[in-house]
Structure 1
Amino acid sequence: MATLPVDERRIIDQFGPHLSGTVSERQGAAADERLVKTHCCFCGQQCGIQLKVRGNDVVGFEPWYDFPFNRGMLCPKGVKRYLQGAHPDRLLTAFRRDASAAGGFSPMPYGEAISRVAAEVSRLQSAHGASSVGVLSGASLTTEKAYLMGKFARVCLRTPYIDYNGRLCMVSAGAGNKKAFGIDRGANPWDDMLGTEVIWAAGSNVAECSPITTNYFWQAREQGAKIIIQDPRITPIARTCDLYLPVKPGRDAALFAGVLQILIERDWLDHAFINAHTSGFDAVAEYCREWTLARTADVTGVPQKSLMQAAEWWGTAKSSFMLHARGIEHHSNGVQNVLGAINLVLATGRIGKPLCGYSTIVGQANGQGGREHGQKCDQLPGWRDISNPEHRKYIAGVWGIDEAELPGPGVD
C-alpha cells in the first residue's frame, strides 16, 4: 500500500488544508492561527478569500461564503493564491548585476539600492532634464499605491512620463468608454446578468481566464438567457454557448456594424432611448449601410445565418448584457471595436435599465484604479484631466505645489 512520503501535518503546513478535510484540519489547532479576509489578487474578478495566518505566515485559506461576488468559490489560481507569500522564487531583497555571481546577480541591502537609484536619477536629470526619466508601473498595485506612483513621478521626479501596463491591457476599452459615455467606468455589477435574456461576450475566454464569471453565465442560462460568444477560437465557453460567432481576427468592428445594420433594417431599435440619450446616430446609421449581410459575412467569416440569429436575439429581447475583453481590444483599431459593441447597446437602449448592461471583463487586479488615480499619462487622481487648468489647480493645491510645477501629459 502506498504511503505518504512525509507526515500529513507537514503537508498541510506547507501546502495548506484540503477542503475535503475535517473542520479541525482546515482550521488548525494552533492557538495563534487566525483568518484574515482579503481579495485574490490574480485578476480583475477580485474574489473574496480568507487567508489562514499562523504567526506572520500564510499557511492556508478558507472560503469566504459571505463575499457577494464569488460566494466562497475560487478558481485554480485563487486556490493557490496563498502559496505565493512564502514561495521560494519570491525575491526578498534587492539585487545588483554581478558577472561573478551565480545567475549574474548578487543581493544588496535595500538602503544601498535606494541610494544608488536616487543617485543615478539625479545624475541623468542633471545632465538631460527632468523628462529624461520615466516611470512604468502596474495595474496589480492597490489604488493607494497607484496614487503614490503618480505623485512620485510628477512631484518628486517632475517628469511627465509615467504610465502603467494597462496601456497594453484594456486602455482601448477605457478610451472607447470615455468617447461613448464621457467617463471610463464600469457600468454594471455582474448580478445584473441574472435574469437577462441575452448575454453577448466578445473576445473573452471566460472559462479559463475568468472562471467565476462563467458561473454567472451558467446561472443566467438556467434562468433562460441565451449565450452568444464572439471569438476567432473555439474556446471552452464557445463549445457550450447557444450561438458561436467565429469572427476573423481584427474584424470585430465590421461584425458589430453588420449586426447594427440588421437592427436598423428590421427596426429593432429603441428610438426613445436614441433620441433622449445619444448623439450622432444618423451618422452611424449612414456608415452601417455599406455593411450588408453578404459583405459582413464575407469580411468577418461569420455565416449569414449566424449574423441574422445574433441580431434577432439581441434586437427582439427585452433585456441583454454585453461584455468584452482583450480579444477585441488588443488591435490597432481596438477603440473602434469597443465602440461597435457599445453602439449595439445604445441603439437598443440596453443600459441603465434592470437586467441590461455593458461591461469590460477586466484582466488585472486594479486596472481601473491604476488609471483613475494617477498612473495614466494624461490623468490626475480622481479621473481628472491633466490638461484641464481647474483639475491641475485642484491637485496642485492638494499636493502643496504650484500648478506650474505640474508636468503636462506624457506620451498619449
Structure 2
Amino acid sequence: MSVPHTSPPPTDTHCPYCALQCGMALCPAADGADGRPVLEVAERPGFPVNEGALCGKGRTAAELLAPGARLTRPLVRRAASGELEPAGWDEALDLVAGALARTRRTHGPDAVGVFGGGGLTNEKAYALGKFARVVLGTSQIDYNGRFCMSSAAAAGTRAFGVDRGLPFPLADVARTDCAVLVGSNLAETMPPALRRLSELRENGGTLIVVDPRRTRTAEQADLHLAPRPGTDLALALGLLHLVVAEDALDSGYIEARTTGWPEARSAAMAHWPELVERVTGVPVPELRRAAALFAGARHAMVLTARGTEQHAKGTDTVGAWINLCLATGRPGRPYSGFGTLTGQGNGQGGREHGQKADQLPGGRRLDDPAARAHVARVWDVDPASLPGPGRSAYELLDELGRGVRTLLLAGSNPVVSAPRAAHVEQRLRSLDFLAVCDVVLSESAHLADVVLPVAQWAEETGTTTNLEGRVLLRRKAVDPPPGVRTDLQVLAGLAERLGGRRGFPTDPEEVFDELRRASAGGPADYSGIGYRRIAEEDGVFWPCPERPAADTPHPGTPRLFRERFATPDGRARFVPVTHRPAAEEPDARHPLLLTTGRVLSQYQSGAQTRRVGALNAAAPGPFVELHPRLARELGVRDGDALAVVSRRGRAVAPARVTRAIRPDTVFMPFHWGGEGRANSVTNPALDPDSRMPEFKVCAVRVERAERDSAGGGAPGTAEAGTPGTGRSEGPAGTAGTNGATAHAR
C-alpha cells in the first residue's frame, strides 16, 4: 500500500527587511542542489500588520537563501596574495580573537571597536553588546541604527520619557481623522503600510504629506506641502504659531498633562506665517489650511520618518512636531498622537538591548548607576567593570585607524551607507585589523582581514521588535548551508578564545530568557514575554513586565500614554525649539541642495537586494532626479551622465528629469556603491543630542559628466565562490587590508 507524499507544513515567520516585519510563510518547493529545501514565500493573511500584503522585496526574500547568492565559507586575507581566500572556522576565529586580544593588550580596550546592525535579532544585538562590554571591556560600540531612528528616539525620550516608534498599533492610522506624514515615502519604503493611508481616506479622513518631492505617497495626499530641504523645523513651528493664533489649543489637556508650555509657546510665536513661507517656500494659504485641518480634526496624528529626522537639528525638528501634537491634545488619546516610522527591520529592538553607545538592555541608560547595577547582576560582573558611554556611529567610524585600531563589524555596510563615505572607506582601510560577520560579501566586507559567513533570517530562530513595539518571533525554516554559523555561535567561539567561557549560549531562546531578566524594570521591559506567548499571540507589545504572583500575565501595552507619560511626574514635556539653517547652505560654488532616499526595489545599502535579479532589473542603478528648469539650464536630457559635487566628494549617475522635485533641489537614492555612491557627497554634521548625521540636505553643484565604465550598480564580483577577487586598494592605489561599517543586512 502506497503512502501519499505530504509536504512539510509552511513555517510562519516575518520578512527580513523593513520595520513593518510583515508576516509571511515559507513553503518548501523543491530540493536544492545542495540537499537543502528550496523555499518559496507565501502570504500569511492572519498577521495583523500586513494582512498578507507583501512588497517585491518580501516576495523575493527567499532567493538570498541560495548558496550562490551568499557567503558559505570563512575568508581570510592571505599575506602572500593580499586576497581573501577560503579558510576553516578554527583558523578564522583564532585570527579574529588574536587580533582583538593583541589590540587590547597593546593599546587598551577602547582601541577595539564593535559596530552592529539594525537587522540583527534582539538576541544577537543583546549578545553583541554584552560581548563588547564584558569580554572586550570596550566602550566603543554603536550600530547603524544611529543613522535611522536616533533623532526621533532622543526627541521622544525628551518629551514622553520613553523611546518607542509608534505608541499605538499601525492599524490606528486608518481610524484617525487627519494624519500628517512628514518625510516619509511609504509607497516605496513600506508599501504594505500604504493601505492604512488608503483606508484613512476611504473612512473620510484627511492625509497631509510633507516632502520636498512629489513622491508616490505625496500623490495620495489631500494636501502636499513641499518645503525646501532642511526647513521642516520652521514649518512645524509655523503650524503651531497658527494653532495658537486661531485659539485652537486644547488648554485643558495642556494644563492637566504637560509641562513647559509657556516657553514652547513663546518660541513658536516667533515663527509667523510670512516668515515661514520665506524660509520653507510653502505658501501661507497652504500653511493655514494644514493647521486648520489638523487642529479641527477630532482625532489626529503626526508620523515622522527619516526625511525630517536625518538632520543636524533632527531632534529639535521632531520635538517641534511633538509640541504641535501636545498643544492640540493628541498623545494618549484614541487614534491620535505622535509616532515615528522606524526604518530597519529591528531598528527598535536593536537599540533597546545594548548596541547603542549609551544604552544597556531594556532601554536603560549606561550612565545610570541603578541600571548598571541591575544589568551587572544579570551578567554576574562588577558594575564598576562596565565601561561608560562611547562614541556614536559616525564618530566611531571617523576614529578608525587612530584611537580605534581593530573593528568587529556585524551586519553593516558603511562603505555605502555612511555619510562622507569616501572618508569612511579610507578610515576602514587604515585599521590594523577588520573582522566582518555578514551574509554576503558587501563592499565593506571586501576590505576585511577575516570574513565570517553567518546564518540569515530563515536559518535561525530569533525575535525582532517592529515599528509598533510588537515583539515578534522569526522561526527557523531551513538549516544554514554547511560551513555557515550563527552570529551567536561566532560570539560564543570568540568569547571562549578570549577567556569569557560563561554567559554566551548559542540557543536563541536561552539568550532571550536572559534578555528578559536584563530588561526587567527598564523602560523597554520584556520580562513578561516568552517565545511561546509570542507565537500564540502574533506578537506582544512592550512594556510587558512579568507578574510572578498574578493569576494572569501582563497583557502587553499596545497603546502608551493613556493615563500618564513615562516621565517622573507622569506629564509630557514641551521643549522650546527655534528654527536654524542647515549645517551647510548653498553658495556660489554649490548653489543647489541634495536630498537622498530610497527606491521601491532596493533596501538600505543594497548589499542583499542588489543580488536579487527581479529587484535589480526594476532598479538597476542610481540616478539624479532634477527639475526640467534645471535640466534646461544645464542642457541635460534624461539619461545624460550628471556629476553631483559637494565639498566632500562627487557622485555620477544618469539624469532623471521630473516635475516631482523642486527646481532648487536634486535627489539621489543611496543604495549603490561605486561612482554612483550618493553618500560620497553627504554631510556628516551631527545633531548635538542624537548624533544623527545630516544625510538629508547638503549644498551641491550639478554638472555634465562622462560616466566611468565601472558604474555604480551591482556589488563587487567577489561573491561566494570567487573570493579571490576581493583585493582592496588604498586611497592612493597602495594595497589596503581593512574596512568596515554602516547599513543593514
TM-score, length-scaled by structure 1: 0.90
Q: 1:130: which partner in 2?
A: 109
8 A contact 1:188–1:358 mirrored in 2: no
Match of 2:160 among 176, 181, 197: 181
Name the counterpart of 1:147: 126
Tell me the distance in 2 between the aligned counterparts of 1:203 and 1:87. Answer: 38
| Aligned: 1:248 with 2:228 | yes
Question: What letter matches 2:258 in structure 1?
Answer: T
- Match of 2:271, SS state, is coil
Structure 2 partner of 1:234: 214
**1:87 Cα offset (Å):** 5.4
Report the Cα distance in structure 1 between the residues aligned to 2:321 and 2:357, rounded to whole angstroms: 26
Letter in 2 for 1:224: G
Rounded Cα–Cα distance in structure 2 between residues aligned with 1:249 and 1:144: 38
Q: How many residues align?
A: 383
- Residues in 2 aligned to 1:195 and 1:216: alpha-carbon distance in whole angstroms: 9
- Distance in structure 1 (CA, Å) of the matches to 2:180 and 2:123: 34
Tell me which of 303, 314, 336 is aligned to 1:356. Answer: 336
Q: Distance in 1 between matches of 2:141 and 2:290?
A: 42
Question: What is aligned with 1:16?
Answer: none
Q: Is residue 51–residue 58 contact of structure 1 (8 Å, CA) maintained in 2? A: no
Find the residue that maps to 1:248 and give its secondary structure: coil
Q: Find the aligned partners of 2:67 and 2:351 in 1 and give their Cα distance.
A: 30
What corresponds to 1:10 in structure 2? none
Q: Does 1:313 align with 2:293?
A: yes
CA distance in 2, matches of 1:364, 1:299: 32
- Point out where structure 2 has 5 or more consecutive residues left out of the alignment: 393-745
Q: Distance in 2 between matches of 1:291 and 1:220?
A: 31
Q: What is the alpha-carbon distance in structure 1 between the residues aligned to residue 86 and residue 6 of structure 2?
A: 36
Alpha-carbon contact 2:53-2:192 (below 8 Å) kept: yes
Which position in structure 2 is the counterpart of 1:37? 12
Amino acid in structure 2 at the alignment position of 1:40: C
How many angstroms does 1:351 deviate by? 1.6
Secondary structure of 1:61's aligned partner: strand
The question of whether the paired residues in 1 share the 8 Å contact of 2:352 and 2:360 is answered with yes
Check if 1:47 corresponds to 2:26.
Answer: no
The answer for the alignment partner of 2:602 in structure 1 is none
Distance 2:210 2:37 in 1: 44
1:271 to 221, 237, 251: 251
| Match of residue 84 from structure 2 | 105
User: Would the aligned equivalents of 2:117 and 2:143 in 1 still touch at CA under 8 Å?
Assistant: yes
Give how far 1:312 is off. Answer: 0.2
One-letter amino acid of the counterpart of residue 248, structure 1: R
Contact 2:24/2:43 (CA < 8 Å) preserved in 1?
yes
Which whole-Å deviations, capped at 9, do the CAs of 1:209-247 have from their partners, x for residues lacking one?
011111110011100111100001111111221000001
Point out the structure with the larger helix share. Answer: 1
Aligned AA for 2:139? P
Q: Which moved more, 1:228-237 or 1:45-54?
A: 45-54
Give the CA deviation at 1:342.
Answer: 0.8
The CA deviation string for residues 78-128 of structure 1, in whole angstroms up to 9 with x for no partner, is: 111111111523111221224877x93211112211110000111111011
Task: Quote the offset at 1:295 in angstroms.
Answer: 0.3
Secondary structure of 1:194's counterpart equals helix
Is 1:347 the equivalent of 2:327? yes
* CA deviation after TM superposition for structure 1 residue 32, in Å: 4.0
Q: Output the amino acid matched with 2:127.
A: L
In structure 1, give the amino acid aligned to 2:99: E
Preserved CA contact (<8 Å) 2:76 2:84: yes
Q: Distance in 2 between matches of 1:295 and 1:245?
A: 16
Aligned pairs (5 A) from 1:11-26: none
- What whole-Å deviation, never above 9, does each CA across 1:337-384 have from its counterpart, x for those lacking one? 111111111111112111112211111011111111011111110111
**What is the DSSP-based 3-state SS (H/G/I as helix, E as strand, rest coil) of the residue aligned with 2:180?**
strand
Partner of 1:281: 261
- TM superposition score normalised by structure 2: 0.50
SS at 1:149 equivalent = helix
The answer on whether the counterparts of 1:192 and 1:357 sit within 8 Å (CA) in structure 2 is no
**Of 361, 364, 371, the match for 1:381:** 361
Please give the alpha-carbon distance, in whole angstroms, between the structure 2 residues aligned to 1:198 and 1:209: 21
- Find the residue that maps to 2:338 and give its secondary structure: strand
**AA paired with 2:353?**
H
The aligned runs of 1:115-126 (5 Å cut-off) are 115-126=94-105
What pairs with 1:314-329 in structure 2 (closer than 5 Å)?
314-329=294-309
1:187 and 1:359 in contact (8 A); partners too: yes
- The 1:301/1:30 distance shift into structure 2, 3 A limit, reads farther
Other structure's SS at 2:353 match? helix
Alignment check: 8 A CA contact 2:41 2:60 kept: no
The 3 A distance-change label for structure 1 pair 30 and 254 is farther
Q: CA deviation at 1:31?
A: 3.0
- Over the matched positions of the two proteins, sequence identity in percent amounts to 42
1:71 aligns with: 51
What's the Cα RMSD here?
1.5
* Correspondence for 2:143: 164
